C-alpha cells in the first residue's frame, strides 16, 4: 500500500498538525506501509527563513520520505504551484491520500486533483469545521466552502476527526461523507534523570517551586486571557508557583508580543519564564518537570500537547472545550474547567495545594495515554481504515 500524506507545511513551528504528520508517517512505515509526505518549505509566516531542505526530491526520514516544494512569497497561505503540478503527475502511483487541513489553498486544490485523478482521499479538518473557528472570517469561509470545500468534503472517502466531540459539533455544509474518529498519538518522552533540577537550573527558578506549564501555540483561542488573570489571582493569595510559557505564533506575532507585554507589566513578571518555541530534549524536560500542565482553550479539536503532558506523567487542567476533556475527567488524569477565570483559578489552587493528588493524577494520566494514545496502535487502526476504503473503491 502506498499512502500520500499532504499538508501545507510540515515545519514544527506550526505545532501539533505538523508533528502529527511526521509521527503518523513514521508509525505507518513501521507497519510496512510505503509513505510519502509532501509539503511546502514554509517555516513561519512573517519573515522567517524557509526550511533548509532539498526541494522537489525525496528526503528519507524515519522509514518514509518527505518531498518539499518551494513556498510562494505569500507564505501565510503556504501555497506551491510546484507541489500541485507534482501531485497531478504522480497521483496515479499512490493508493490513497490523507490530506491535513481545510480552508488552505494547498489542501483544497490537492483534494480537487485527487478527485480528478481518481485517487481516494481522507480529509482531516484540524478543527476548522468547529463552529467557533468558522465564525472567524465567516463570510469569506462561507464563500470558500461554496466554491471549493463543500465539494471536497462531499468527494472525500472519509473525514478524519480526532474525537467524538469534534465529529459531533463540526459543520458539514450539507454533505454526508463518512465520519472517521481516530485519536492522535503521542510518543513517550525520553526518560531524563533530574529533569526538574535541569529546568530549575537552566531558567534560574527557585528549587522546590511548583511549575505551571503552558506549552502550545500562543493564540487567542488558547485561553491565555483566562489563564494569566487566574494566575495573578493565585499570586495575590500568596500561593507559591512559577509559570512557564512555552510556545510561539509564526502566524500572529502581534498577539504573541501582546501576551509578553501583558506579563511584563504584571505581578507575574517575577514568577514567569517565557521560553519561546521549544522542541526536542528541552520540550521533553519541560513536560516531565512540570507539576501542572494547563490548556484552557476556547476550542481544541484534540490537543496534542495535552496528550504529550499526560504521557509524560504530568496532570493536566483543560477547559471543557478541549475535546479530550471527557477522557481527562473519566480517567482522573487531571481537571476540567469552565471557561471562566474564577473556575480556572479554583482548579489551579486545588492542584497547587494538593501535591500528592497531583502526583496520583499524573500517574493516571501516563497510564491512560500509554494505553490509548500509542502511535503504533493508532497506525494499525488507520491502516484498517485505509484498507476498507480501498476495498470499497474496488467493489
Is residue 47 predicted with pLDDT exceeding 80? Answer: no
pLDDT digits (tens, 9 = 90+) for 204-230: 999 899 999 999 999 999 999 999 999
**Mean pLDDT, the chain, as a whole number?**
93
Which CATH architecture group holds 2-185+374-394?
3-Layer(aba) Sandwich (3.40)
pLDDT at res. 307? 94
pLDDT digits (tens, 9 = 90+) for 167-184: 999 998 889 999 999 999
Q: pLDDT band at residue 188, thresholds of 50, 70 and 90?
A: confident
Q: pLDDT band at residue 303, thresholds of 50, 70 and 90?
A: confident
Which CATH architecture group holds 195-372?
3-Layer(aba) Sandwich (3.40)
Q: How far apart are the C-alpha atoms of 98 and 106, rounded to whole Å?
A: 13
- Percent pLDDT > 90 in the chain is 78
Degrees (nearest 5) of the Cα angle 304, 27, 160? 55
Strand pairing category for 58-61 and 64-69: antiparallel
Q: How far apart are the C-alpha atoms of 118 and 106, rounded to whole Å?
A: 18
pLDDT at res. 17? 86
pLDDT at res. 193? 67
pLDDT at res. 252? 85
* Residues 107/99, Cβ–Cβ less than 8 Å: yes
pLDDT digits (tens, 9 = 90+) for 91-121: 999 999 999 999 999 999 999 999 999 999 9
Q: Where are the domains of the chain?
A: 2-185+374-394, 195-372
Is residue 375 predicted with pLDDT exceeding 90? Answer: yes
pLDDT digits (tens, 9 = 90+) for 260-301: 999 999 999 999 999 999 988 999 999 999 999 999 999 998
CATH topology identical between 2-185+374-394 and 195-372: yes
Mean pLDDT of the region 232-252: 93
Poorest-pLDDT segment among 64-78, 159-173, 217-231? 64-78
Is residue 14 predicted with pLDDT exceeding 90? Answer: no
pLDDT at res. 16? 80
Amino acid at each position: 500500500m502506498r499512502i500520500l500524506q499532504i499538508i501545507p507545511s510540515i515545519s514544527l513551528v506550526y505545532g501539533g498538525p505538523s508533528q502529527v504528520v511526521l509521527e503518523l508517517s513514521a508509525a505507518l512505515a513501521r507497519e510496512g506501509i510505503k509513505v510519502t509526505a509532501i509539503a511546502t518549505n514554509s517555516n513561519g509566516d512573517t519573515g522567517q527563513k524557509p526550511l533548509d531542505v532539498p526541494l522537489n526530491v525525496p528526503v528519507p526520514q524515519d522509514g518514509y520520505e518527505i518531498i518539499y516544494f518551494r513556498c510562494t512569497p505569500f507564505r501565510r497561505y503556504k501555497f506551491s504551484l510546484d507541489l500541485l503540478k507534482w501531485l497531478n503527475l504522480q497521483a496515479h502511483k499512490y493508493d490513497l491520500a490523507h490530506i491535513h487541513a481545510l480552508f488552505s489553498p494547498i489542501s483544497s486544490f490537492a483534494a480537487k486533483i485527487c478527485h480528478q485523478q481518481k485517487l481516494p482521499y481522507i480529509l482531516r479538518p484540524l478543527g476548522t469545521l468547529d463552529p467557533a473557528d468558522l465564525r472567524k472570517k465567516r463570510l469569506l469561509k462561507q464563500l470558500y466552502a461554496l466554491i471549493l470545500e463543500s465539494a471536497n468534503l462531499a468527494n472525500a472517502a472519509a473525514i478524519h476527526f480526532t474525537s467524538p466531540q469534534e465529529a459531533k459539533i463540526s459543520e458539514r455544509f450539507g454533505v454526508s461523507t463518512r465520519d472517521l474518529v481516530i485519536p492522535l498519538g503521542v510518543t513517550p518522552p525520553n526518560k531524563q534523570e533530574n529533569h526538574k533540577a535541569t529546568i530549575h537550573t537552566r531558567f534560574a527558578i527557585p528549587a522546590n517551586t511548583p511549575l505551571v506549564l503552558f506549552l502550545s501555540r500562543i493564540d487567542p483561542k488558547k485561553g491565555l486571557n483566562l489563564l494569566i488573570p487566574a494566575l495573578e489571582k493565585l499570586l495575590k493569595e500568596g500561593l507559591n508557583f512559577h509559570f512557564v510559557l512555552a510556545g510561539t505564533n509564526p502566524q500572529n506575532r502581534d498577539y504573541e508580543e501582546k501576551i509578553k507585554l501583558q506579563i511584563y507589566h504584571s505581578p507575574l513578571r517575577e514568577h514567569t519564564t517565557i521560553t519561546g518555541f521549544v522542541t526536542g530534549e528541552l520540550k521533553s524536560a519541560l513536560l516531565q518537570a512540570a507539576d501542572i500542565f494547563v490548556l484552557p482553550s476556547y476550542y481544541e479539536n484534540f490537543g496534542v500537547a495535552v496528550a504529550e503532558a499526560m504521557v509524560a506523567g504530568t496532570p493536566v487542567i483543560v477547559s471543557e472545550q478541549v475535546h479530550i476533556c471527557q477522557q481527562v475527567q473519566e480517567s482522573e488524569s487531571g481537571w476540567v474547567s469552565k471557561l471562566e477565570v474564577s473556575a480556572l483559578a479554583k482548579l489551579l489552587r486545588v492542584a497547587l495545594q494538593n501535591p500528592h493528588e497531583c502526583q496520583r493524577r499524573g500517574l493516571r494520566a501516563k497510564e491512560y495515554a500509554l494505553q490509548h494514545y500509542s502511535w503504533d496502535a493508532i497506525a494499525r487502526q488507520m491502516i484498517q481504515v485505509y484498507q476498507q476504503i480501498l476495498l470499497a473503491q474496488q467493489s
